[in-house]
Amino acid sequence: MPDVHALVNDFLIKLKRRKIEGSKATAKVTAEVLRSFISQQRLPNTNQAGALIDAVKAVGEQLIAANPVELAVGNVVRRVLHIIREEDLSLTAAAIGGLSLSAGSDDEDDVGHDEHPALSAAAVAAAARSTLRPPSLQTLLEDVPHTAAVPHTSSSGGDSEGKSKSADKNSSTKRLKHNVIEAVNELIQDIVTCHEQIAEQAVEHIHQNEVILTLGSSRTVVEFLCAAKEKKRSFRVFVAEGAPRYQGHTLAKELVTRGLQTTVITDSAVFAMISRVNMVIVGAHAVMANGGVIAPVGLNMVALAAQRHAVPFVVLAGIHKLCPLYPHNPEVLLNELRSPSELLDFGEFSDCLDFGSGSGSPILHVVNPAFDYVPPNLVSLFITDTGGHNPSYMYRLIADYYSANDLVLQRRSAS
Amino acid sequence: MVAKKSGRNRGGGGGGTAAATEVSVEELARVPLQAILLADSFATKFRPITLERPKVLLPLVNVPMIDYTLAWLESAGVEEVFVFCCAHAKQVAEHLENSQWFAQPNFSVTAIESNNAVGAGDALRLIYEQNVIRGDFVLVSGDTVSNMSLAEALGEHKERRRKDSNAIMTMVITQSKTSPTTRQSRLGTDELFMAIDPDTKQLLYYEDKSDKGTVSLDKTLLSDHPSIYLHNDKQDCYIDICSPEVLSTFADNFDYQHLRRHFLKGLLDDDIMGYKIFTHEIQSNYAARIDNFRSYDTVSKDIIQRWTYPLVPDVQFVGNSSAKLDRQGMYRASVVGQSRSAQVGPFTVIGSGTTIGSQSQISNSVVGEGCKIGANVSIEGCYIWHNVTIEDGCQLKHAIVCDGVVIKSGVILEPGVVLSYKVVVGQQFIVPAYSKVSLYQQPIKQDSDEELEYADSSSGFMDASSLSGLPDKLKEESTIQLSESQLQAASEVGSGGVGFIWSTSEGSHEEEWRHSVAPIPAAKLLEIMHTSNNELEVVQQDGNLPPSGELERDSVTANSNDYDDDDVDVKDDYEVFENEVEATFKRALEENIKEDDVILEVNSLRLSYNLATADCSGALFYSMMKSALSAPHPSPSDLVKNAATVITKWKKLLKYYLPSIDEEIEVILKFEEMCLESAKEYSTVFVQILHLLYDKDIIQEEAILNWASEKEGADETDKLFVKQAEKFIQWLNEASEEED
């Protein structure tokens, strides 16, 4: 195990210097760093969850401050905090349950758990959630399948392992930590497999002989389109090249190698082509709590064109892209201005940047924002790991994944 | 791990192809990439600031310069950096220790201190002796700002090395158009000429100090290379990828000091070793070196404009201070106290902890951390470092204000001012343009001979070290002395002010505007444009001449002619021709050239300007009279005598151009014109000279009579000379009648 401090520092530096790109990669690394951080964290005997939350918050603050524009970092930190709270809750619930069943055993003892071998932490957590908090729409709708399904699919193996260990040591320190790490592993797994989960739904959305338009490059979009192709759907894809980084070119290349009928167009031709398009499918950088999307630059224009021609505008977003914050002035504050050299050749324009003559103030200014903000009213549908959702439903979805207590994380770090 | 790291870096930087990355990854796996960073420029351009702090630690957009260089080296995959510190070595080492650079995994920074290096050559010789460089290395100066990816240049260098072991250095260059008016690049450096073989990219010629405006290439270059491109639109980035032979070359040539002036030119001139230097041109990436105040200004603005991304203020590439970017290039740190009525304009950086008072206006400036700016202050294009206090009502334009400076209320800083550390400017004081103010007195030794720059900087360095490198006791003493001298100096910068205004020697004052942070004033630009235009003309005229009559008549109209190209053509042709003839004649006088040769030359001029013989005679006569005029002539009679000697001497020449009456009349007309305009001295002796010409058989009586009759119908003013010559003409008439 490498020194966790060095690990965190290394990651911090990478974030600061913008050496990690893409929300998925960032999310995955963040989760991994937090996992090793938690595993190395020494916990006191009392109020373990509180101590763990504080520690994770402290690290999380640093990570978020390192690159405030990359929202995936904050999302994962909050997810992990939420996981800790959930696990703590489930442990307490289990302890209460154990207490009620075998009145003789004390808090530290784990007899209660032995008597409920079928009930995993997550299941208890779900139960506890439904009792201790106002039930979310999700849990209300999926109450029965949720409690039944979760223990079998995800954490039953880990839980039995944890149970045997905890039975040996008889300490809930290990239990809490272990459960949290298991849950974080699950989170990492979710992040890794989010493409597949989203791609599975492709057939429901893409129909025969349709024309799909996309802009820039997104791995999720590639997988989504290819999944539909594999299901023997035949359709055409228009790829807007996505100036100035022209990632659309690489996307087109990839689609062609997978045998998809592809047309490359310039970004400025989007409006002209949109009337022939059946659906716009794009990736996102982040999805805000109001259903607005931080997306690669140019997408706001595409969304407006789509709205004008009543073409559905579908955004694919892995669950790690859901951000529990409401955007404030996102065009500026949540944007990243990249180097002008992506647009212009510095040498060619060096004579326009001669500050020695004239007023000394620059006359030529090149703006190269990385992102666009697409307001929620322009988005028709979000497709996440868990299915399709309306923009107005996003805040509920977010309430399931994040704890309201953690939202202030960033505000504190900023002050 | 090494390979993985560098690969990711490149992906992040956005540059470099996958193939190039692959190659460099292999190379890196064998030998860790090393770099030598010279944390001393061995120059005095940043005086007086550099008396107190090394140049590499000066903040550039609130981050020390050396951190830009180190951050770039780190992200470019360099693993070992040797920082050579000389002036203020302790401060540099201290900065490195306090910074994060020592704690980086896979990136080691080693400081090498020396106290007696006087140039880059000494530094490299010292490093050579230490025997730490094992393979190819990157040689940069600590004031380089870049975001280029080294992989490509390094790959090219290694490829060349494999084929030819004499290819020891690859220079990084970039395109940069020099300003046509000032003939200096945007970084304030002189126009640079480079001859490059377009096929091999080999550097064949390098000249950055062409005062004469001429470039001379050795003709063997042309015979050895099928084609050569001569560039003046390239900029030297001062980033060199070197092989270990470079160090040994320095060790062999103990007199090499300057990297370009000695080493590079030495290698280019000397073909005994056969070492070759190649260039690598970067296209869209940024690389620049801060050499003077002008480039400090330019690079700062480039950073604010984000050309150096990701080395920009809102990315924490170093340290923990970060700013938020607002619209129009406004960078604000998280904790800034700004009055509601204060206006912070575009392209401005405000450091954390700074407070700005009401009604203050800031634009195009960089303000450091912990500054206190009062009310009604106007700051434009300034670089204000940390913990500066600016009281109410000050006006600052294009100035550099160092740490801890106090500017009392009502002070006005004119463009180009530099206030060094802890200077206090008294109330209502106006600091004149381009002045430099420091707590230290100006070193008396001002040996600004360019050739001896390194020697000069060594003496400067001794000064600096004596100030900074002294043991504490001595230091205290010197501060006591300082405070005494402060009292003496109080009056120099207003009442209650502390600091000395450095006087600039007369010669360098002319150049002050070139290298200052202030933009070149419009008047100056116009002046340069003017002189450069004249220069051009002079070159055409082939010599330094007094302008001819047409030009001298009125300098304003002459200027307007210069600018108005359309109207110049025909008229100017004759003027230029006249000047040429005059010059030829003058040369003939001075060098005693034979008449036949002069005729030959004038004829060729006549052909090239496509003029008639009549024009030649007129011009020749004009120049003769001019030369007579230029000889001393206390009285009109002496003038006639002078003219007589000249005419007698060159009679034959003039006669050659007077084959018919028409030409002779032309000469008289020309003479008349001269008397009226350019050489009024002749007007009194017009008749005498006319007589002289007649006597010497240059002008026949027929010509004079024709001239007189031609003038009969003219205005009274035109008849002035005819009237003067009335007697003479009458006499001629009589004489001819007699003959008949």
List pLDDT tens digits, range B65-102: 999 999 899 888 899 999 998 888 889 989 988 887 87
Residue B59 within a domain: yes
Give the residue on A whose Cα is nearest the Cα of B316.
A16
* Interchain pair B286, A346: CB under 8 A: yes
Give the residue on A whose Cα is nearest the Cα of B104.
A10
Residue with token string 């018919």 = B660
> Of the candidates A80, A63, A55, which has an alpha carbon nearest to the alpha carbon of residue A187?
A80
CB-CB: which of A21, A332, A340 is closest to B305?
Answer: A340
User: Which residue, B415, B438, B461, sits at the end of a domain?
Assistant: B438
What value does the mean pLDDT take over residues B542-568? 40
List pLDDT tens digits, range A295-338: 999 999 999 999 999 999 999 999 899 999 899 888 888 888 88
HSE, CB side, 13 Å, CA atoms: give it for residue B656. 13
What value does the mean pLDDT take over residues A174-201? 90
Same domain, B259 and B328: no
Same domain, B267 and B329: no
B431 contacts chain A (CB < 8 A): no
B286 contacts chain A (CB < 8 A): yes
List pLDDT tens digits, range B259-293: 888 888 888 887 777 888 999 998 888 999 998 89
Which of B189-193, B219-223, B453-457, B673-677 bottoms out in mean pLDDT, i.e. has the lowest?
B453-457
What value does the mean pLDDT take over residues A23-51? 86
Residues 6+ away with beta carbon under 8 Å from B83: B37, B39, B66, B92, B96, B109, B110, B111, B112, B142
Which of B15-19, B425-429, B717-721 bottoms out in mean pLDDT, i.e. has the lowest?
B15-19
| Closest chain A C-alpha to B317 CA, distance in angstroms | 5
Same domain, B241 and B343: no
Report pLDDT for B609: 76
3-state SS assignment for residue B520: coil
Is a pLDDT exceeding 60 seen at residue A35?
Answer: yes
Q: Are B656 and B624 in contact (CB under 8 A)?
A: no
Size of interface A-B (CB pairs under 8 A): 133
Residue B489 within a domain: no
What value does the mean pLDDT take over residues B452-456? 38
Give the burial class of B503: count Cβ atoms within 10 A of its Cβ; 0-12 exposed, 13-18 middle, 19 or more buried. Answer: exposed
For residues B521 and B525, give the distance between their C-alpha atoms in angstroms, rounded to a whole number. 6
Residues of chain B with pLDDT > 90, as a percent, come to: 21
Instruction: Label residue A137 by pLDDT band (50, 70, 90).
Output: low
Dihedral sign for Cα B634, B637, B641, B643, please.
Answer: positive
> Of the candidates B60, B398, B402, which has an alpha carbon nearest to the alpha carbon of residue A360?
B398
Residue B504 within a domain: no
Same domain, B236 and B344: no
Instruction: Label residue B31 by pLDDT band (50, 70, 90).
Output: confident
Count of CB atoms situated within 10 Å of the CB of B694: 16
CATH code: domain of residue B39:
3.90.550.10
Report pLDDT for B172: 93
Per-chain mean pLDDT for chain B: 77
CATH code: domain of residue B417:
2.160.10.10
**Containing structural domain, residue B674:** 572-738
Per-chain mean pLDDT for chain A: 81
B529 contacts chain A (CB < 8 A): no
A328 contacts chain B (CB < 8 A): no
Instruction: Give the CA angle between residues B575, B578, B579 to the nearest 5°.
Output: 90
3-state SS assignment for residue B575: helix
For residues B426 and B423, give the distance between their C-alpha atoms in angstroms, rounded to a whole number. 10
Same domain, B285 and B347: no
Residue with token string 């035949």 = A234
List pLDDT tens digits, range B110-125: 888 888 888 888 889 9
Domain count, chain B: 3
Same domain, B282 and B408: no
B520 contacts chain A (CB < 8 A): yes
Report pLDDT for B15: 39
HSE, CB side, 13 Å, CA atoms: give it for residue B349. 28
Give the residue on A whose Cα is nearest the Cα of B148.
A341
| Closest chain B C-alpha to A8 CA, distance in angstroms | 12
Put simply, the chain A residues between 243 and 262 with a CB less than 8 A from any chain B CB are 245
For residues A389 and A153, give the distance between their C-alpha atoms in angstroms, rounded to a whole number. 24
Report pLDDT for B715: 67
B361, β-bridge pairs: B343, B378
List pLDDT tens digits, range A246-300: 999 999 999 999 999 999 999 999 999 999 999 999 999 999 999 999 999 999 9
User: Which residue, B403, B438, B473, sits at the end of a domain?
Assistant: B438
> Of the candidates B147, B20, B14, B2, which has an alpha carbon nearest to the alpha carbon of residue B73?
B147
Give which of A16, A26, A246, A336 to mutate to test B binding, by max B Cβ within 10 Å: A16
Residue B620 within a domain: yes
CATH code: domain of residue B662:
1.25.40.180
Report pLDDT for B372: 94
Instruction: Label residue B465 by pLDDT band (50, 70, 90).
Output: very low
Q: A345 to chain B: which residues are within 8 Å by CB? A: 175, 283-284
Q: B284 to chain A: which residues are within 8 Å by CB? A: 341-342, 344-346
Give the burial class of B529: count Cβ atoms within 10 A of its Cβ; 0-12 exposed, 13-18 middle, 19 or more buried. Answer: middle
Same domain, B245 and B112: yes
Q: B349 to chain A: which residues are within 8 Å by CB? A: none
Report pLDDT for B3: 38
* Interchain pair A342, B363: CB under 8 A: no
B553 contacts chain A (CB < 8 A): no
| Closest chain B C-alpha to A361 CA, distance in angstroms | 6
Is a pLDDT exceeding 70 seen at residue B19?
Answer: no
List pLDDT tens digits, range B128-142: 988 888 888 999 998
Residue B516 within a domain: no
* Interchain pair A353, B284: CB under 8 A: no
Residue B610 within a domain: yes
Report pLDDT for B560: 39
B9 contacts chain A (CB < 8 A): yes
Give the burial class of A141: count Cβ atoms within 10 A of its Cβ; 0-12 exposed, 13-18 middle, 19 or more buried. Answer: exposed
| Closest chain A C-alpha to B224 CA, distance in angstroms | 30
* pTM exceeds cut of 0.95: no
A145 contacts chain B (CB < 8 A): no
Is a pLDDT exceeding 90 seen at residue B557?
Answer: no
Same domain, B67 and B131: yes
Same domain, B93 and B157: yes
Same domain, B609 and B681: yes
Which of A385-389, A410-414, B497-501 bottoms out in mean pLDDT, i.e. has the lowest?
A410-414
Same domain, B401 and B352: yes
Is a pLDDT exceeding 90 seen at residue B35?
Answer: yes
Instruction: Label residue B420 by pLDDT band (50, 70, 90).
Output: very high
What value does the mean pLDDT take over residues B641-647? 79
What value does the mean pLDDT take over residues A339-365? 81
Residue B677 within a domain: yes
Most confidently modeled range among A136-140, A155-159, B243-247: B243-247
Residue B202 within a domain: yes
* Interchain pair B12, A20: CB under 8 A: yes
Report pLDDT for A127: 52
Residues in chain A: 415
Most confidently modeled range among A143-157, B445-459, B496-510, B609-623: B609-623
A2 contacts chain B (CB < 8 A): no
Instruction: Label residue A79 by pLDDT band (50, 70, 90).
Output: very high
Put simply, the chain B residues between 300 and 329 with a CB less than 8 A from any chain A CB are 301-302, 305-310, 314-317, 322, 324-329
Report pLDDT for B466: 40
* Interchain pair B364, A66: CB under 8 A: no
Report pLDDT for B641: 80
* Interchain pair A356, B302: CB under 8 A: no
A19 contacts chain B (CB < 8 A): yes
CA distances from residue B678 to B490, B546, B627, B669 in whole angstroms, order as listed: 57, 12, 13, 14
Put simply, the chain A residues between 93 and 132 with a CB less than 8 A from any chain B CB are none
Does the N-terminal peptide bond of residue B59 adopt cis geometry, omega within 30 degrees of 0? no
Report pLDDT for B599: 80
Give which of B104, B175, B306 to mutate to test A binding, by max A Cβ within 10 Å: B306
DSSP string across B3-27 = HHHHHHHHHHH--S-HHHHHHHHHH
Is a pLDDT exceeding 80 seen at residue A123?
Answer: no
Report pLDDT for A383: 95
Same domain, B246 and B342: no
Put simply, the chain A residues between 346 and 365 with a CB less than 8 A from any chain B CB are 346-348, 350-351, 353-362, 365
Give the residue on A whose Cα is nearest the Cα of B233.
A347
User: Which residue, B391, B421, B438, sits at the end of a domain?
Assistant: B438
* Interchain pair B14, A357: CB under 8 A: no
A339 contacts chain B (CB < 8 A): yes
Report pLDDT for B412: 93
* Interchain pair A362, B301: CB under 8 A: yes
Report pLDDT for B320: 67
Is a pLDDT exceeding 80 seen at residue B436?
Answer: yes
Report pLDDT for B717: 65
